[in-house]
């Protein structure tokens, strides 16, 4: 895996490092990604596990979701990077809230004219529906056409490495933040991915939609 060195975002510039795994490349979602992203967000098999719970009906709806998501991330970044430098240094790094567009490296390197996003993945600060603890949640979903290739495990492992390399904690008072994932019990493939990647089961419960779920957590220890 390769990654760029972290950079310090300013109020006018929000930069998130990109990285790649053996077969996948991760770049922050952009406003121009709606058409390529629609294949994923229009798939009922994928969106049933999302918070939205249903597929996007059109590229326009995908664009609307994308614009809203990017606006939220940008607003958080600008709020966190505004003000004196000494104040900014004490605030959370705004790059921690990020949604990546995941593409197949072979497709990118082939120079294919048609762009294709095979997954949406990222991290967001959220309170767990199971334990009530607030920390960063890791999430991902892949288009059905690439299921069975082992991409989910590869992506999760790559994201975990990226996270703990970028945010290892610099002192005894700055401990690395753990990450967690909420997985439906009815989704055995994702349960296996969490176990394979070294996440530990910490609790079971029911989410806001009445679905039986399991919470997994990982700390950089």
Flag whether 22 is in a domain.
yes
In a domain, 198, yes or no: no
Residue 12 pLDDT: 31
Q: What is the DSSP string of 101-131?
A: EEEEHHHHHTT-SS----EEEEEEEEE-TTT
* pLDDT of the residue at 35: 96
Judge whether 100 lies within some domain: yes
Please give the chain's pLDDT, 221 residues, in tens: 333 333 333 333 345 678 999 999 999 999 999 999 999 999 999 898 787 889 999 999 999 999 998 887 766 656 655 555 544 444 445 457 889 999 999 999 998 889 999 999 999 888 898 998 888 999 999 999 999 999 999 999 999 999 888 776 555 545 556 899 999 999 899 999 999 999 999 999 998 778 899 999 998 76
Range of the domain at 101: 2-123+137-172
pLDDT value of residue 67: 92
- Considering the domain boundaries, does residue 216 fall inside one? no
Report yes or no on 84 lying in a domain.
yes
Q: How many helices and strands, by DSSP H and E, does the chain display?
A: 7, 9
pTM score, whole prediction: 0.80
Residue 162, in any domain of the structure: yes
| Non-local CB neighbours of 34 within 8 Å, separated by 6+ positions | 59, 62, 63, 66
CATH number at 30 reads 3.40.630
What local confidence, expressed as pLDDT, does residue 16 receive? 62
Residue 203 lies in a domain: no
Specify the pLDDT at position 8: 34
User: Does 221 reside within a domain?
Assistant: no
Instruction: Provide the domain count of the chain.
Output: 1
Residue 48 has a pLDDT of 84
Q: Is 43 exposed, middle or buried (0-12, 13-18, 19+ CB in 10 A)?
A: middle
Are 28 and 102 in contact, with CB atoms under 8 Å apart?
A: no
DSSP 186: T
Alpha helices in the chain (DSSP H): 34-41, 44-47, 59-81, 85-88, 105-109, 151-166, 188-196
Q: 195 with 35: CB under 8 angstroms? A: no
Edge-to-edge strand list for the sheet holding 24-28: 2-3, 19-20, 24-28, 98-104, 119-127, 134-142, 179-184, 212-218, 200-206
């Amino acid at each position: 895996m390769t990654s760029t060195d972290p950079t310090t975002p300013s109020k006018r510039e929000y930069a998130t490092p990109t990285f790649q795994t053996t077969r996948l490349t991760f770049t922050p979602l952009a406003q121009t990604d709606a058409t390529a992203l629609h294949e994923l967000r229009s798939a009922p098999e994928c969106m049933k596990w999302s918070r939205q719970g249903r597929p996007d009906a059109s590229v326009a709806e995908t664009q609307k979701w994308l614009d809203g998501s990017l606006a939220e991330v940008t607003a958080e970044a600008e709020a966190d990077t505004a003000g004196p430098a000494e104040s900014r240094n004490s605030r959370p790094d705004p790059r921690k809230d990020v949604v990546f567009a995941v593409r197949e490296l072979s497709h990118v390197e082939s120079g294919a004219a048609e762009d294709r996003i095979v997954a949406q993945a990222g991290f967001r600060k959220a309170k767990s529906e199971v334990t009530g603890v607030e920390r960063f949640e890791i999430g991902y979903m892949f288009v059905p056409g690439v299921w069975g290739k082992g991409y989910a495990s590869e992506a999760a492992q790559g994201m975990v490495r990226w996270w703990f390399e970028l945010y290892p904690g610099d002192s005894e008072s700055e401990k690395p933040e753990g990450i967690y994932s909420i997985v439906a019990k009815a989704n055995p493939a994702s349960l296996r991915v969490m176990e394979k990647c070294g996440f530990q089961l910490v609790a079971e419960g029911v989410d806001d939609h009445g679905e039986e779920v399991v919470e997994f957590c990982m700390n950089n220890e």
